Structure 1
Amino acid sequence: MSSHAFYPIGTPGQPWGEAELAAWRAQRVKLRSYADDVLRVIEPLRETFDVVEYGTLDYGAEHYPLLAIRSRDWRDELPVLLVTGGVHGYETSGVFGALQFVQRHGLDYAGRANLLVVPCVSPWAYERINRWNPNALDPNRNFRSNSPAGESAALMDLLEPLREDVLMHIDLHETTDSDESEFRPALAARDGKAFEPGEVPDGFYLVDDADHPQPAFQQAVIEAVAKVTHIADADARGEIIGSPLLLPGVIKFPVKQWSLCAGITNARYATTTEVYPDSPRATPQQCNDAQVAAVRAAIDYVLAQRDV
C-alpha cells in the first residue's frame, strides 16, 4: 500500500469532523458478545476470587459493566501483580489469555501475591473487533489525567489507590495484519495525515519501559514464551515496528509519555506483550498460551527477586 492510500472515510489531508466520526461509527458492526465471551467466563471465578465492578460504560443503548478479578486472600503486606488485557478490543488473545491465566493458574500464587486481573478493558471494541472506542479514541494513548476515553479513565480510577503498590504490570496485546490494512490507515485519515506503511513482525515480542528498563525481566519472559511460540526477528533495519531491539524480541517505548496502559502505575517491572495471531506458524490457542506463559514468567521472575 502506498503512502497516498485513501481511507474510505474523510478527505485526504483533512482531520475528521463529526460527520466523518458518525460515518465511521455507523460502519462498526457487532461481531461477538462481551457478555458471552467475558462476563459468562468470569462468573464461575467468583467461587474462588473476588470480582469487582470498577465502572460502567454506556454507549447509546449498550451498557458494559467493567470487571476486575482480585485475589480473595488480599493482604496489604503482599506485592500487587497486575494483568490487563483487551485494552485494544480486537487483540483477542489478550482477553482470552488473561482469563485462561486466572482459570488455570490464578490460585498458584495464593498467599504470595495479590493478583489483580482486568481481562477486557475495552468491551465495545472487543465486540466490534476494533482498536478504538466509539469516539474513535485509542484507549492506549489516553491513560492520563482527565482522559477523554471512558475505558482508560475507569481503569485509572481503579488503580489510583494502588499506583505505588503495584510491583509488576503486564499488559497483553497483539500486533495483527489489520494494523496495516485497517487501523493505521484509519488513524492517518482521522488525523488528516498521509499513511506511511510499515511492517508487521511475525512472532512474539515485548515492549519495555524506556524510562525504567528491566532487561533481565524482559529476557525471562521471552525465554518462557519461546517454548510456546516463535519470537519475532528484527527487520532489515534491525528494528521491530520502527524501534531498535534492546535484546532479541524486546523493544522499548516511553510508556508514561505516550499515555500507554503499561505506564498507568509506578510498577518497577512493566511490560507489554505483542502476539502475532496471523502467523501461519501459530494457532489461536498458541497465542493464548503465549500470553499465559508471559504472565507466569513475569510473576515468577518478580517473586523470585523478592525472595533473594
Structure 2
Amino acid sequence: MTQLFENYQWNSALFNCQSNDLQQFERYLSAQVKRLNMQAIRLGFVDDSHQQYPLFLYQSANLCSEKPSILVCAGFHGEESAGPWGLISALAQLGSSVLNKVNLSILPLVNPSGFSIGNRLNLFQQNPNRGFIYQSGQVVSNPHTSVEGLILQQSMATLLAASKHGILTCHEDVLLHDTYLYALESHALPSPLSYQLRDSLGRYFPIAADGEIDECPVKDGIIFNHFDSSFESALFQSGSQIAICTETPGQQEFDQRVLANRDVMALFINHFVNENSQ
C-alpha cells in the first residue's frame, strides 16, 4: 500500500515567494552558481509525460587534490524546503575566494518534483533518501530505491570523490518544534564539529531532549552513528570521513528555518576552509 504524505508550503518574506516556487528557486540558484563560477553537471533527469526534472551537481571550477573535498546537499524530501532555500542564502554570502581553498560540491535540490508541490515523496510516490544499500564495498539499489536514487548511484564515484572529507545533508522534521542532527563518524563520540553544528541550530530552536526520535536514541541533540539506507549513510560507509544530517523543525517559522540552514551550511564549509588554512 502506498504511503501518502501531506503537502506543505509556507510563505518566505526573505525570498518573496512560496516555499515550493520551483521557478523562483531555480532563478536564485542560477544567479549564485554563475556568480561563483561553479560548474554544472547534469547527473540525469526525472520525467513523466508532462515535465522533466533535471538533477544537477554543481562543483568548484578548479578542483584540486590538495584541497578538502566536501559535499552539501538539500531537498531530498519535497516538504523540507528550508534546506534548499537555506543553501541559496549560504551561497549568496559565500565569497568566491572560499572556492580557492576548498573543493565545494552541492546537490541543491534532489527532489524537485516533490519540492514543487511540497510533498515528501517524488512524483512516483518514492522516497529519494532511501534505498542506498552499502554491501561488499559498493552502494547497490533495491526495490525501494527511487528514480533519483538510481541517478545518484550511477554517479557514486563522482559523489564519493566530492564528499571525501565530509558530507552535510540538510533535512527538516515537519512534525517537531525542536532541532537535532545525525552524525556519522569514525570515533567513539561526536566530534567538536558535530557539537558546533548542533549549537548553531540551537541558536534558532530548542535542542531536542534526550530520548528517542523515529526509534533512534538522541543524546544532547545528536543521533550518533545510526546507519540506514540513506544517501549520507551510504557515502560515509563508502569512505567519506564525516557525514552530518541536520534536522530543522517544521513547526517553527519558515524563514527562521532558512536562516538556521544557511548558518549550518556556512559553518560546515568554513570549518574545512579554516582547516586547510592552518
Query: In the alignment, which residue of structure 2 is the partner of 1:40?
Result: 27
The share of aligned pairs that are identical, in percent, is 21
Contact in 1 for aligned 2:185/2:241 (Cα 8 Å)? no
Query: In the alignment, which residue of structure 2 is the partner of 1:259?
Result: 229
Contact in 2 for aligned 1:143/1:259 (Cα 8 Å)? yes
Query: In the alignment, which residue of structure 1 is the partner of 2:198?
Result: 222
**Separation (CA, whole Å) in 2 of partners of 1:214 and 1:305:** 18
**Separation (CA, whole Å) in 2 of partners of 1:123 and 1:106:** 27
Alignment partner for residue 243 of structure 2, among 256, 270, 279? 270
Shift of 1:84: 0.4
Q: Which runs of 5+ in 2 are unaligned?
A: 10-17, 134-139
Spell out, residue by residue over 1:27-62, the C-alpha distance to the aligned partner (whole angstroms, 9 max, x if none).
98999442x133222222324322222211112322
Query: In the alignment, which residue of structure 1 is the partner of 2:166?
Result: 168
Equivalent position amino acid for 2:57 in 1: A
Contact in 1 for aligned 2:69/2:161 (Cα 8 Å)? no
- C-alpha root-mean-square deviation of aligned residues, in Å? 2.8
Query: In the alignment, which residue of structure 2 is the partner of 1:90?
Result: 79
Contact in 1 for aligned 2:168/2:245 (Cα 8 Å)? yes
Contact in 2 for aligned 1:174/1:273 (Cα 8 Å)? yes
Shift of 1:269: 1.7
Aligned length: 254
Q: What TM-score, normalized to structure 1? A: 0.73
1:71-150 superposed matches below 5 A:
71-105=60-94, 107=96, 109-144=98-133, 145-146=140-141, 148-150=145-147
Structure of higher CA gyration radius? 1
Spell out, residue by residue over 1:101-154, the C-alpha distance to the aligned partner (whole angstroms, 9 max, x if none).
122216352211011111110111111211122333211112241353111122
Query: In the alignment, which residue of structure 1 is the partner of 2:44?
Result: 55
Aligned residue for 1:128, secondary structure, equals coil
Shift of 1:210: 6.8
Q: Say if 1:106 and 1:292 are closer, same or farther in 2 by CA, change over 3 A.
A: farther
Structure with the largest fraction of strand: 2
**Separation (CA, whole Å) in 2 of partners of 1:250 and 1:98:** 22
**Separation (CA, whole Å) in 1 of partners of 2:118 and 2:224:** 26
Q: Say if 1:214 and 1:268 are closer, same or farther in 2 by CA, change over 3 A.
A: farther
